[in-house]
Chains A and B, each alone.
Chain A
Amino acid sequence: MAQVTLNGVGKTYPNGFEAVKPSSFDIADGEFVVLVGPSGCGKSTLLRMVAGLEDITAGSLNIGDREVNDVDPADRDVAMVFQNYALYPHMTVRKNIGYGLKNRGTSAAEIEAKVQDAAKMLDLSALLDRKPSQLSGGQRQRVAMGRAVVRDPALFLFDEPLSNLDAKLRNQMRIEIKALQRRLGVTSIYVTHDQVEAMTMADRIIVLNGGEIEQIGTPAEIYHNPASKFVASFMGAPPMNLIDAQLENGEIRMNGSTVLTAPSDQAYAGPVTMGIRPEDVVIDEAGSTPFTIEIVEELGAHRLLHGRLAGHAFTVHVGKESLANAGEVRLQIKPDAIRLFQPETGKAI
């Protein structure tokens, strides 16, 4: 177990493409950090640099109190779970799990004991003599986990480990991985493009976009106080409503007419992008803002009302007891639910 420190770690390919701009952050001992972002944002490259599968071209990386920039992947004391599991197809489950131990000079008896323990923990005991081709997707995923767990590493690295599973299994494995990490207390870095995985699993989320860190924070911080328009639109399903507006004297005007009160005293004046989470709005006949419902998405426990607010596309999230008919309604928007962003830079004001 160890903390991880990235100090200006970056990756520039020989052809000049900068996949990851110099990034710095610390991961505390036992912390579960999720790197999230759209494809091509550099999250996998960053993870692979931590694993040692990709050279670090800028900055320094420390695992524990040791700089590991030039340390062989096998000597970094990390274990990695790959997207396609990367099991050795010619080896049985037992050998797959034990291979890393065997190469570290562990005695055969100790390997067998540790493999048995890991298999028990992951419910694989009955499958130890099978080959990966005889396993289901979920079982392969467990074997990949077992291979990581059995080594008792300082750091777990997960590279989109659930993206090849069906939705139901994904939800189940998500909880299992999180529970396992809690139990073992191993520092973990988890890469995903799925914001639900990021929100539910992370102690802290790092949102990446275009090779750059957009925001680092707890799931709640990221969700409620996004640092940029990108984070606001990427995290949360449905995403935050973003509307171009005008801020003057503490009032927000949309299309010159509809007026809302700004969250707090704002010194800034001029064009802004206003962000409102769909669930921070209530339908209220006494409300100040007119809203035209066009489409109702029925989701059982709640409903999503898609429509127009002052001519802009807008989504409202309501409970199952609220009305759901297309047509005109009025909305109550609390001032403290409104987030403001610079329209050009996208940064939060």
Chain B
Amino acid sequence: MKRAGFTSVWLPVALLLPQLSIIAIFFYWPAGWAVQSSFYLQDPFGFGSTFVGFENYTDLTANSEYMRIAWFTVVFTVLVTFFSLSIALLLAVKADKVIRGAKSYRTLLMWVYAVAPPVAGFMGIMLFHQHTGPMTDFFKALGWDYKILVDYNSTATAFIIVSVWKQIPVNFIFFLSGLQSIPRAVREAAMIDNRSGVRRFWDITFPLLAPTGFFLLIINITYALFDTFGIIDTLVKGEPGNNPMTLVYKVYMDGFRGNDLGGSSAQSVILMVLVLVLTVFQFRLIERRIHYS
């Protein structure tokens, strides 16, 4: 193939400039600032700062509360990602088979997508309310003394359920369009080759959905790590106390409530590195096994 080239260096640079400047202003600059301030101990009233080297980082690893929150974040992310992906896939596979009223059915399933995270959080507050919440009644009927904001596991359960519920529509839309892009003839050929619908799903449909699934895996991990902030903040009403929280929420609490900007910056840097490592790992390891047609 013939490659088109620019005669001058400046035109391509000029064309890239808007995009590059957005990334620079909204990512590189704050990120650089976070890295820098993670090496300083800030005066809580903003009068000055002292260089402390890696002390902010070493403090974190020695901090048992931080390690506990890190562990919760891992469990939370794994559970939210797993359930929101698997439930959405199940719904998409079933919705794909609906013939009558398929459109309104799909629209209903996607509706939750339009709900903003804090609103989802408020709905969670009502659903899981200690005295009047229907979910609380449901768990109590199952024999669980469910107490949101009082009991650690109760609050964690509410976080996970609301976060999963909020993310399902996005995954559903992608899985459904992924399913519909599989050629009909390929599925029909499989029907002649294999009588078991379940086996056909795992042998043919699932591998052909893998590119969609991989993309959603990254999106969902990022969602669970970062975008659940609004849900958590609303559910704990800004006062987490002894309730569980994720690392991002901890960054916010330490930085803006505790005024420990240095420690908070160190935590942000750790999160940045974590996401970077995770993404590289995913692309290196998983993408290799995926077929893109």
Of B183, B191, B291, the contact of A90 (CB 8 Å cutoff): B291
Interface residue? B189 (CB, 8 A):
yes
A53 touches B191 (CB 8 A): yes
Interface residue? A83 (CB, 8 A):
yes
In the assembled complex, which residues on chain A have CB atoms less than 8 Å from the CB atom of B293? 89-90, 133
In the assembled complex, which residues on chain B have CB atoms less than 8 Å from the CB atom of A88? 186, 189-190, 204
B194 touches A103 (CB 8 A): yes
A103-B188 in contact given A86-B183, A90-B291, A133-B293 (Cβ < 8 Å): no
**Complexed CA–CA distance, A101 and B226 (Å):** 48
Interface residue? A73 (CB, 8 A):
yes
Interface residue? B208 (CB, 8 A):
yes
The B-contacting residues of A in range 263-286, CB under 8 angstroms, are: none
In the assembled complex, which residues on chain A have CB atoms less than 8 Å from the CB atom of B188? 51, 53, 73, 80, 82, 86
Of B192, B194, B207, the contact of A80 (CB 8 Å cutoff): B192
Interface residue? B3 (CB, 8 A):
no
**Complexed CA–CA distance, A347 and B183 (Å):** 41
A90 touches B192 (CB 8 A): no
Select the stretch in B35-43, B79-87, B195-203, B242-250 that faces chain A: B195-203
Interface residue? A65 (CB, 8 A):
no
Of A74, A131, A133, the contact of B192 (CB 8 Å cutoff): A74
Interface residue? A84 (CB, 8 A):
yes
The A-contacting residues of B in range 201-228, CB under 8 angstroms, are: 203-204, 207-208, 210
The B-contacting residues of A in range 44-99, CB under 8 angstroms, are: 51-53, 72-75, 78-80, 82-90, 99
Of A79, A90, A147, the contact of B208 (CB 8 Å cutoff): A90
Interface residue? A239 (CB, 8 A):
no
In the assembled complex, which residues on chain B have CB atoms less than 8 Å from the CB atom of A83? 185
Interface residue? A100 (CB, 8 A):
yes
Closest Cβ–Cβ distance, residue B98 to chain A (whole Å): 15
**Complexed CA–CA distance, A99 and B203 (Å):** 9
Could you count the A-B residue pairs with CB atoms below 8 Å apart for me: how many are there? 66
A84 touches B183 (CB 8 A): yes
B192 touches A51 (CB 8 A): yes
**Complexed CA–CA distance, A295 and B270 (Å):** 82
A73 touches B192 (CB 8 A): yes
Of B185, B194, B291, the contact of A99 (CB 8 Å cutoff): B194
Interface residue? B193 (CB, 8 A):
yes
In the assembled complex, which residues on chain A have CB atoms less than 8 Å from the CB atom of B199? 103
**Complexed CA–CA distance, A82 and B186 (Å):** 9
**Complexed CA–CA distance, A185 and B192 (Å):** 21
> A4-18 interface mask toward B, CB cutoff 8 Å, 1 = contact, 0 = none?
000000000000000
A82 touches B185 (CB 8 A): yes
In the assembled complex, which residues on chain A have CB atoms less than 8 Å from the CB atom of B192? 51-53, 73-74, 78-80, 100
In the assembled complex, which residues on chain B have CB atoms less than 8 Å from the CB atom of A75? 195
**Complexed CA–CA distance, A285 and B243 (Å):** 108
In the assembled complex, which residues on chain B have CB atoms less than 8 Å from the CB atom of A79? 192
B194 touches A100 (CB 8 A): yes
A80 touches B195 (CB 8 A): no
B291 touches A89 (CB 8 A): yes
**Complexed CA–CA distance, A82 and B191 (Å):** 13
**Complexed CA–CA distance, A88 and B293 (Å):** 10
In the assembled complex, which residues on chain B have CB atoms less than 8 Å from the CB atom of A51? 188, 192
Chain A residue with the shortest CB-CB distance to B192: A73
Closest Cβ–Cβ distance, residue A34 to chain B (whole Å): 20
The B-contacting residues of A in range 124-182, CB under 8 angstroms, are: 131, 133, 147
> B123-139 interface mask toward A, CB cutoff 8 Å, 1 = contact, 0 = none?
00000000000000000
In the assembled complex, which residues on chain A have CB atoms less than 8 Å from the CB atom of B208? 89-90
The 5 closest A-B pairs by CB, nearest first: A74-B195, A86-B185, A90-B291, A100-B193, A86-B189
List residues of chain B with CB under 8 Å of any chain A CB: 183, 185-186, 188-196, 199, 203-204, 207-208, 210, 291, 293
5 pairs of residues in contact across A and B, judged by CB atoms under 8 Å: A73-B191, A84-B185, A86-B189, A90-B208, A90-B291
- Apart from A53-B192, A73-B195, A74-B191, list 10 A-B contacts with CB within 8 A: A51-B192, A52-B191, A53-B188, A73-B188, A84-B183, A86-B186, A86-B188, A89-B208, A103-B196, A147-B189
